[in-house]
Amino acid sequence: MIETLKQFSSSTISQALLKQIEQKAGEYKEKFGREPALMEVCGSHTMAVAKTGVKKLLAGKVKLISGPGCPVCVTDQKSIDAMIQLAESDERIICTFGDMVRVPGTNRALIDAKTDGRDVRVVYSPCDAVEIAKENPDKQVVFLGIGFETTIPVLAVALKKADDERVTNFSMWVTTKLVEPILRKLLNEGDVQVDGLLLPGHVSIVLGKYHYQYLVDEYRVPGVICGFEPAELLSGIYKSIELLLNENPEIINSHQHVVRDEGNRQAQLMIDQYFQVCDEAWRGIGVIENSGLDIRDQFIHLNAKSRFDIKAGEPKPTRCRCGEIIRGLIPPEECNLFAKACTPVNPIGPCMVSSEGSCAASYQYLREE
Ligand code: SF4
């Protein structure tokens, strides 16, 4: 029944699902003595559970923990600092996605460099940056490429375009992240109680359902791949609690109309052709071995890290607690700066900048006025 209902998002359906979740959560509490704790892995889910009211409605019944899947939030200061250094030359144009220009580096954000007259541009697609390079042959155009597996194929398409069209004044500074290593790290450390995972609909389009089997085989943690509409979220939560109650972990694909078991092979091949695994620095967490992708050596001529001699220093500790928030250790409200010194208008950390950030979601939808 739930399988059919999740296709729709009328309030009647959502109400019915809410009731069913409350009942299952009650059963869970009776059996295990506490509320079930589910982590929504991706930033879009974090924003969706806040915006739709699902998180508030389930408060005290189901613990929803924001996870590490907001790509803007996990981008380390060093990459921002490097891009600001690169922007200092009049001979360069720096391009990136919208939210990234407001993400603070150690001292400043790219928007500050732009205010100082540097050529920093927001683009919708990295291919737009390749076009900008073609229109400005006397300038070096550098694209700051961030993202998880959802975005990485798009970066690969831009690299292919630049390579095929021999756009020699284009390069990319890549600081991408992979979902599996950070989930393994969180589950291995066990600092936060995670009973089940709401797995991201869009990343799963690329990765597929089978990719997540390690969660079940190695960690005995169930996962439900679900979409972002209220009924889809509620259905994902319901199924997660049901799996936990049955003590029968498995991966359920509740987003079957777009997620295939084996994922998107073409996107996977594009990733593999242009990228290789590397150690990556995560904001507030540090370097995690084999947790990101960088441009393959074969395409080193498109790698801004090789093209330019930029050395950013180690990030200094700040009062921003995004690192703990990304790992689900604290909610945004526990940061002393939340809604005081740090607001969407004056963000101190990336979790307040990003349209998928936990702090931005809490500020907009969960805060008590
Ligand atoms: Fe960082 Fe601001 Fe969130 Fe605090 S409220 S963790 S300073 S982004």
Does the pLDDT of residue 12 top 90, yes or no? Answer: no
The tens digit of pLDDT for each residue in 163-180 reads 999 999 999 999 999 999
Domain boundaries, the chain: 36-212+256-369
Does the pLDDT of residue 357 top 70, yes or no? Answer: yes
**Ligand 1 center–CA 79 separation, angstroms:** 19
The tens digit of pLDDT for each residue in 192-217 reads 999 999 999 899 999 999 999 999 99
Q: What is the chain's percent helix, strand, coil content, to nearest 5?
A: 45, 20, 35
**Ligand 1 center–CA 166 separation, angstroms:** 42
Atom 8 in ligand 1: residue holding the nearest Cα: 349
Q: What is the per-residue pLDDT for 10? A: 55
| The Cα angle at residue 63 between residues 62 and 66, in degrees rounded to 5 | 135
Does the pLDDT of residue 9 top 80, yes or no? Answer: no
Does the pLDDT of residue 8 top 70, yes or no? Answer: no
Q: What is the per-residue pLDDT for 6? A: 43
**What is the Cα–Cα distance from 13 to 26, expressed in whole angstroms?**
20
> Taking CB atoms and a 6 Å cutoff, what residues make up the pocket around ligand 1?
320-322, 325, 332, 335, 337-338, 342, 348-349, 351-352, 359
* Residue 342 exposure: Cα atoms within 13 Å on the Cβ side: 28
Q: What is the per-residue pLDDT for 5? A: 41
Residue among 290, 67, 283, 280 nearest 186 (CA): 67
Q: What is the per-residue pLDDT for 369? A: 66
Q: Stretch 157-161: mean pLDDT, rounded?
A: 98
Residue among 197, 175, 128 nearest 291 (CA): 175
Q: Which of 340, 351, 355, 362 is the best mutation target for the ligand 1 pocket, counting ligand atoms within 8 Å of the beta carbon and taking the most?
A: 351
Atom 7 in ligand 1: residue holding the nearest Cα: 320
Q: Stretch 266-280: mean pLDDT, rounded?
A: 98
Ligand 1 atom closest to the Cα of residue 322 is 6
Neighbours of 19 (CB within 10 A): 10
CATH classification (class only), 36-212+256-369: alpha beta
**Ligand 1 center–CA 342 separation, angstroms:** 6
**Ligand 1 center–CA 332 separation, angstroms:** 7
**Ligand 1 center–CA 352 separation, angstroms:** 6
Amino acid code (one letter) for 144: L
Is residue 114 a contact partner of residue 146, using CB atoms and an 8 Å limit? no
Ligand 1 atom closest to the Cα of residue 318 is 7
Q: What is the per-residue pLDDT for 1? A: 37
Q: What is the ipTM of this complex?
A: 0.99
**What is the Cα–Cα distance from 128 to 147, expressed in whole angstroms?**
17
**Ligand 1 center–CA 282 separation, angstroms:** 16
- DSSP structural state of residue 252: E
Q: What is the mean pLDDT of the chain?
A: 94
Atom 3 in ligand 1: residue holding the nearest Cα: 359
Is residue 302 a contact partner of residue 274, using CB atoms and an 8 Å limit? no
Q: What is the per-residue pLDDT for 7? A: 43
The tens digit of pLDDT for each residue in 299-331 reads 999 999 999 999 878 888 889 999 999 999 999
Q: What is the per-residue pLDDT for 95? A: 98
The tens digit of pLDDT for each residue in 29-80 reads 999 999 999 999 999 999 999 998 899 999 999 999 999 999 999 999 999 9
Ligand 1 atom closest to the Cα of residue 358 is 3
The tens digit of pLDDT for each residue in 67-118 reads 999 999 999 999 999 999 999 999 999 999 999 999 999 999 999 999 999 9
Confidence band (pLDDT; 50, 70, 90) for 338?
very high
**Ligand 1 center–CA 320 separation, angstroms:** 5
Q: Which of 338, 355, 362, 363 is the best mutation target for the ligand 1 pocket, counting ligand atoms within 8 Å of the beta carbon and taking the most?
A: 338
Ligand 1 atom closest to the Cα of residue 339 is 5
Ligand 1 atom closest to the Cα of residue 324 is 6
345 CB burial (10 A radius; 0-12, 13-18, 19+): exposed
